[in-house]
C-alpha cells in the first residue's frame, strides 16, 4: 500500500522562480534605464557648469572662442564631448562578468568619454562604472599628474537626485521581472 502526495503549485512556482532568475541575468533593460538617467544628468551637469564647480574660463579662452566663432559654454567647442556623454551608443559600455550564480551576465555598465577637452588636450578616459545592483558604482577620473581635475565631466559622487532615479530604475526593473515571471 502506498500513496503519493503532490503539493499544489510547487512545480509552477519553481518554474516561475527559474524564469525570474533567468530574467535577472539579462541586465539590458536596467542599463537602458540607467542610460536615460545619465543622459539627463550629463545634460544638466554641462548646462550648470558642473553644478557651479567648474572654474570660469580664462580670458584667453573666452577671446579664442569669440574669435573662432565657438560656443561660449565651458568644455564645449565642437560639441563632441557633450555629444559623446549624452549619447548612450557612445558613452555606454556593457561588460560581461560572472554572477553569483556562476553564469556570465552583462553585470557591469560603464559610462564615460575619451574625447579630448575643448583645447584638444587628451583627457584620457573619464568614466563611471556601475555594477549589478549597485547605484554607487565607482569613478575613474583621468589622472592629472597629481593635481585635481579642473573640470570633472561626470559628476561624482553622483548627485542625490541621480542616485534616487537609479534606485527607482532598479525597483521598476525588478518589479517588471516579477511580473514577467508571473510572481506578481
Sequence-ordered list of residues with C-beta below 8 angstroms from that of 88, at least 6 positions apart, any chain:
32, 35, 38, 39
Give the count of beta carbons closer than 10 Å to the beta carbon of residue 39. Answer: 17
Largest Cα–Cα separation, the chain: 98
- In the block, cell 563611471 appears at 128
10 located within any domain? no
Q: What is the DSSP string of 59-121?
A: HHHHHHHHHHT--SSTT-SSSHHHHHHT-HHHHEEEEEEE-TTS-EEEEEEEEEE----TTS-
Residue 20 within any structural domain of the chain: no
Strand partners, 93: 110
Does 69 score more than 50 pLDDT? yes
Query: Cβ contacts of residue 42 below 8 Å, gap of 6+?
Result: 82, 85, 86, 91, 153, 154
In a domain, 109, yes or no: yes
Instruction: Note whether residue 1 is domain-resident.
Output: no
Residue-number span of the structural domain to which 117 is assigned = 28-177
pTM: 0.76
Q: For residue 148, is pLDDT > 60?
A: no
152: in domain? yes
Residue 184 domain flag: no
**161 is written with which cell numbers?**
537626485
| Residue that wins the pLDDT comparison between 148 and 46 | 46
Enter the DSSP assignment of 128.
Answer: E
Q: How many domains does the chain have?
A: 1
Does a structural domain hold residue 156?
Answer: yes
Residue 147 belongs to a domain: yes
Is pLDDT above 90 for 161?
yes
Amino acid at each position: 500500500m502506498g500513496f503519493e502526495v503532490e503539493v499544489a503549485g510547487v512545480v509552477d512556482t519553481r518554474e516561475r522562480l527559474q524564469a525570474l532568475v533567468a530574467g535577472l541575468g539579462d541586465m539590458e533593460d536596467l542599463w537602458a534605464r540607467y542610460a536615460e538617467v545619465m543622459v539627463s544628468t550629463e545634460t544638466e551637469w554641462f548646462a550648470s557648469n558642473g553644478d557651479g564647480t567648474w572654474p570660469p574660463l580664462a580670458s584667453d579662452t573666452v577671446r579664442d572662442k569669440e574669435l573662432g566663432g565657438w560656443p561660449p559654454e565651458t568644455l564645449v567647442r565642437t560639441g563632441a564631448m557633450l555629444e559623446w556623454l549624452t549619447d548612450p551608443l557612445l558613452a555606454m559600455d556593457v561588460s560581461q562578468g560572472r554572477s553569483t550564480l556562476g553564469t556570465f551576465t552583462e553585470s557591469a555598465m560603464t559610462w564615460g568619454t575619451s574625447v579630448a577637452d575643448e583645447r584638444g588636450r587628451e583627457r584620457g578616459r573619464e568614466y563611471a562604472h556601475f555594477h549589478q545592483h549597485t547605484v554607487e558604482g565607482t569613478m575613474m577620473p583621468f589622472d592629472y599628474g597629481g593635481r585635481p581635475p579642473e573640470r570633472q565631466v561626470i559628476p561624482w559622487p553622483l548627485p542625490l537626485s541621480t542616485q534616487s532615479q537609479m534606485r527607482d530604475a532598479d525597483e521598476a526593473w525588478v518589479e517588471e521581472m516579477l511580473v514577467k515571471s508571473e510572481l506578481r
